Every structure is written in structure tokens, then in C-alpha cells.
Amino acid sequence: MAIMSIADAYKSAIREEMRRDPSVYCIGEDEDIPGGMGGAFTVTKGLGDEFGANVRVALESGGFAFKGTENIGDDRVINTPISEILISGVCVGSAMAGMRPVADLQYGDFLFCMMDQLVNQAAKMCYMSDGKVHVPMVMRAPCGATNRGAQHAQSLESYFIHVPGLKVICPSTPYDAKGMMKQAIRDENPVLVFEHKLLYGGKRKEAGQLSATGEVPEEDYTIPFGQAAIRREGKDITIVANMLMWYKAMQAAEELEKENISCEIIDPRTLVPFDYDTVTKSLKKTGKLMIVHEDTYTGGWGAQLASWVAENAITLLDAPVVRVATPDTPIPFCPTLESYVIPSQQRIAEAARKLAKL
């Protein structure tokens, strides 16, 4: 076992997969240029020392500087211009041709710049080709509010769980980060990896950053998608929360335990496919469901879970489903206002107290 941050766990997974499979490569802005960060959050820093750094994808003569499969052992850390539409286009095309790109977006918000390639091309290609064409690509998307304003702070998971053909995962521990990233790279079709900026624990420090370090096996392992993790056993209330929010839910649960309110905390880990079975088993014990996410209240992934429970497990509930989420407003730039709108330990605990009384 090794003690790693989430950022280092992602890096370890990508490095091991690049060693194992010569078709795996990294692409993005500032991937590993001299003096650079290694992406916005240090995840790819140092990979170029082993796999060939400083290759610039250039829009010259209608082509780019990737050398192709005859030189596959080198230049697999590709720095690009600031153009997400370029990154996604290269990823889709090279994945269809047999490569396995791992794209690093500086901020998940920039997924909107590549919606056509991602939603209309990558997600649908396997279906439209009757399973003959696969698009094994990974999009790493940092998300969450970190005092950067409305265009660099969104939680976008819910936009993409609606798209058939995309898998959507949200690792939140170093163990999960490594195992699920390996699983994503080996998947035959596109996977979106949402990574909360306050959980990286890398060299780039953030206000409010958690020290999310943990033990990570040194041997090869993967974590199958669609398996939730029970982070805390409980008997009174089931709380389903992902990424940063389950950490806050854990803090709230410890506070509530002193008041004889026992909360079971479930981290879904993957939103597509979703592990409804684990939630159902928990509700058989507790009879009460609370969903916590950083995304906005209307149309968040919690709405889908609440709807599924209403249709398939309503008889298990002793009270209405409660959701704790961000109000339907852009994320404020002002740190005080940002802290006000994002779900907090206090808001989660207060909502649980009210639910416990029902």
C-alpha cells in the first residue's frame, strides 16, 4: 500500500495504463510543459519525462503534430492550444482509429465547448454502427465551486447522465480515483470523469481544500462501474451524496450521532450506471432518504434518484424524499456568497433533523 492524494492516484493510474497499453495517451492544455502545472491541478505533471513531453498539437496544413502509431512509444503527452473543440475532435477521431485518449480539461465548465463531438459523435457512435465502432476515450473534468466565479465552478454531472452512451463517474477517494480511472481507460466507450477541485490534495493549494489522502494498492486493480460505497453504516436516515458532499455529510452524521440520529452515508461513485440496489437495501433499514449534491436543485442527479425511488421503492419510505442542493442560481464569485449557496455541514444536519422527526 502507498499513501496518495487523489491527484497522485489519478497520475498513478494513467502512468500504469500508459505503460501497459501503448495506445493510451494524454492530451490537453499545459499537460507537461517546462515550468507548467501538469494540467490545471498537477495530475499529469511528470508524465512527459517518461512518455515524451512538449509535443504541441498545431493547426497547420489541416493536420496536427501527433506522429501516429508507428511512433507510438514516444510523444504520448500532447500539449494543445486553448481549444477544447480541438481536444475533443482529436480524441473522438483517434479513439475510433484504435487509440485510447485521456483528455484533461482545465475546468469541467469547458465541456460545453465540445458538446457536438461528445454528445452527437462519441456517445452515439457505437449504437449507430451496430457495435462495430467504439470510442474508448476518457474526459477528465474538474468541477465544483472554488472561488472562481460562475464560469469555473459548476457541477455538470446532470447534463450528461441524460445522454445514452456516456458513462459518468465521480470518484472521491484516492483508492477510487486510481481503480476507477483504470476502469475508465479500459472501457470501450466514452467515460466522463468528474473530479472535485477541493479533493485533489495536489501541490496546487485551494481555499477549503480537504486532505483527502488514503491507502492505494500498488498492484494492478480496477473498480467496476455501478457499485456504490457505503461510507458509514446507520439505521435512521439514508444519505446519498457524491464527491465533496459525502465528506460534508459524514461530518453532519457525526454531529447528529450525538443527538441519537443515525445516518447511513452512501457514495454512488458512478452516476451512469447507478447502483440503485444499494440505495434500496439501505432504505429497507432506514425508511428515510436524503440526497445531497453540489449541483443546482432543479434537474440535479438527485431528482433522477428521487424519481426512481418514487416509482420503484415508494413503499419503503416513511417520509418524503429530501434534497439538499445549491439554489437555482449561478455560483457567486464572492467567497462569502459562494459559501452561502453551496450545501454545508450545517444545512445537511438541519435537514436531517427535520427528516428524522417525520
Q: Which three cell numbers stand for residue 254?
A: 457525526
Residue 314: what residue type?
I
Q: Which of 134, 152, 162, 293 is catalytic?
A: 152
Q: Is 152 a catalytic residue?
A: yes
| CA separation for the pair 133, 126 (Å, rounded) | 5
Residue matched to cell numbers 496544413: 61
Angle (deg, nearest 10), helices 301-312 and 276-286: 60
Q: Are 24 and 185 in contact (CB under 8 A)?
A: yes
Q: Are 220 and 16 in contact (CB under 8 A)?
A: yes
Residue matched to cell numbers 517518461: 50
Strand order in the sheet with 263-267: 229-232, 263-267, 237-241, 289-296, 322-326
* Termini Cα distance of the chain: 44
Three-state SS at 5: coil
| CA separation for the pair 238, 234 (Å, rounded) | 7
Q: How many Cβ atoms sit within 10 Å of the Cβ of residue 117?
A: 23
Q: Are 118 and 90 in contact (CB under 8 A)?
A: no
Closest CA to 307 of 320, 292, 288, 293: 320
Name 65's Cβ contacts closer than 8 Å, sequence gap at least 6. Answer: 55, 56, 57, 58, 78
Name 292's Cβ contacts closer than 8 Å, sequence gap at least 6. Answer: 239, 240, 241, 245, 246, 248, 249, 302, 323, 324, 325, 343, 348
Dump the DSSP string for 338-349: HHHHS--HHHHH
Which residues are known to be catalytic?
152
